[in-house]
Structure 1
């Protein structure tokens, strides 16, 4: 059996398109986010500010 190590994954925010490196991610409640805005539920409608991503949910 072959094993694999995951080093990147999609941001846990449902509306975000970002792929985040697990080592650089903001971890909250066992989930990985691309930044504080996504991890904190987009307070005041703030987006993640990453180029090409328009998440605000």
Structure 2
């Protein structure tokens, strides 16, 4: 029987997105939904590119 991975919340504290660990960006043992979140919105960006999400690190 194959294991099923459930979605987890993006590790970005202000992001509301859920992401499958096998499709996430892993950084420092945490799972992120995209590069902007994984990089802590270092460029000052708001949002992660997913519709309706306005996270901003």
Q: Could you tell me the TM-score, scaled by structure 2's length?
A: 0.83
Give the number of the structure whose residues are more often helix, by fraction: 1
What do the CA deviations read for 1:10-41 (whole angstroms, capped 9, x no partner)? 00000000000111000000000000100011
Q: Which runs of 5+ in 2 are unaligned?
A: none
Q: What CA RMSD, in Å, does the superposition of the two structures yield over aligned residues?
A: 1.5
The higher radius of gyration belongs to 1
Structure 1 runs of 4+ off > 2 angstroms? 4-7
Q: Which runs of 5+ in 1 are unaligned?
A: none
CA distance in 1, matches of 2:41, 2:10: 13
